[in-house]
Structure 1
Amino acid sequence: MAFAGNVDELALLQTVQLKKQITAEVLAAHLGVSVSAGKAAATALLEQGKVESVGDAIRLTDKGITELKDQLDAERVSIDEESIAELFEQLGPLDDELEALLARSEADGFVDALISLDRKAQNLFDDVSAFVPRLARYQDLFGEALDKIKGGSLAWATAGNIDSYAVVWREMKAELAGAAGS
């Protein structure tokens, strides 16, 4: 559903939930919208009491958590949970491979190995996006992180304070687990 700043409210609430606390600028980058759209969406959520300010960031309130749960439940009614559960199972070996790879992110061949894993994972994420279109944005986030890694910025592989490859993977895994009813 379109929301303030042309942001999908479910994606907005879920992003705030996954990140725990988030600034409007980071929110906008994560959702792929302008900073002004991110600020408008955050302001609307503040006015509705679904988030509260924490310094220059926002986090969900009880009202926001309830709204998010209701919207996720409504989304899941239209999802083939059995197919999503199969995709979640397919993610397991890839997740193990990524974990082992990230543990040696300074090793020779790391970037090539990550690119290879990304190719395999993107096929799975294409299928996920077909079942849950809201999750298609994650593929852009993977691509953005991978481009920065290829450019020599290895922080984009593991850093926890940006939409690094590891952070985006963890969020996609959480989204997929939720969609699968896990």
Structure 2
Amino acid sequence: MAFAGNVDELALLQTVRLKKQVTAEVLAAHLGVSVSSGQAALAALVEQGKAVSSDGGVALTDKGFAELSDQLDAERVSIDEDSIADLFEQFGPLDETLSKLLEDPDADGFLDALIGIDRKAQNLFDDVSAFVPRLSRYQDLFAEALEKIKGGSLAWATAGNIDSYATVWREMRAELEGASGN
């Protein structure tokens, strides 16, 4: 559902929850909207009491968490949980492989191995997006991080303060866990 700044409210609330606290710039980059749309969406959350300004960013309030829970429950009604559970099971081995790979981004063959994992994961994420369309944005985030890594910026492999490959992967894992009922 469109929210202030033409931002999907469920995606907005979930982004704030997963990141714990966001700025308009972080939100805009994560959701693929303009910074002004991100500002409008965050301001509306604060105005409605669903979020509070804190340390230069915005974090969810109890009311925001409750709204997010209600919206996730409504979304899950339309999801084939068995199919998502199967996809989450397929995700497990990729998750283990990526976790080991990310332990040493400076290792020889790191980029080739990451590209290989990404190819396998994208097929899986295509299926995930078919069941939960709002998660399709993650594929763009993976592609953006991978391009920056290919360009030589290894921070985009593991940094926690940006939508690095590892950060986006962690968020996708959380989304899959939730959608599969785990």
Which bin holds the TM-score, normalised by the shorter protein?
Answer: over 0.9
Aligned length: 182
Distance in structure 2 (CA, Å) of the matches to 1:22 and 1:174: 18
1:63: which partner in 2? 63
The within-5 A match list for 1:104-143 is 104-143=104-143
1:78: which partner in 2? 78
Distance in structure 2 (CA, Å) of the matches to 1:53 and 1:2: 22
2:90: which partner in 1? 90
1:26: which partner in 2? 26
CA-to-partner distance for each residue in 1:101-136, whole Å, 9 max, x for gaps?
Answer: 001211011011100110000000000000000000
Identity of aligned residues (%): 78
State the Cα RMSD in Å: 0.4
1:166: which partner in 2? 166
Structure 1-normalised TM-score?
0.99
What is the CA-CA distance between 1:138 and the residue it aligns to?
0.2
Q: After the TM superposition, which parts of structure 1 deviate over 2 Å for at least 4 consecutive aligned residues?
A: none
Gaps of 5+ in 2: none
Distance in structure 1 (CA, Å) of the matches to 2:103 and 2:2: 40
Structure 2-normalised TM-score?
0.99
What is the CA-CA distance between 1:55 and the residue it aligns to?
2.5
1:9: which partner in 2? 9
Distance in structure 2 (CA, Å) of the matches to 1:21 and 1:54: 8
What is the CA-CA distance between 1:56 and the residue it aligns to?
1.6
Distance in structure 2 (CA, Å) of the matches to 1:52 and 1:96: 36
Q: Does residue 144 in structure 1 map to residue 141 in structure 2?
A: no
Distance in structure 2 (CA, Å) of the matches to 1:116 and 1:84: 23
Q: Secondary structure at the match of 2:59?
A: strand
Q: Which amino acid aligns with 1:113?
A: A
Q: Secondary structure at the match of 1:22?
A: coil
Gaps of 5+ in 1: none
Distance in structure 1 (CA, Å) of the matches to 2:143 and 2:5: 24
Q: Secondary structure at the match of 2:149?
A: helix
Q: Which amino acid aligns with 2:45?
A: L
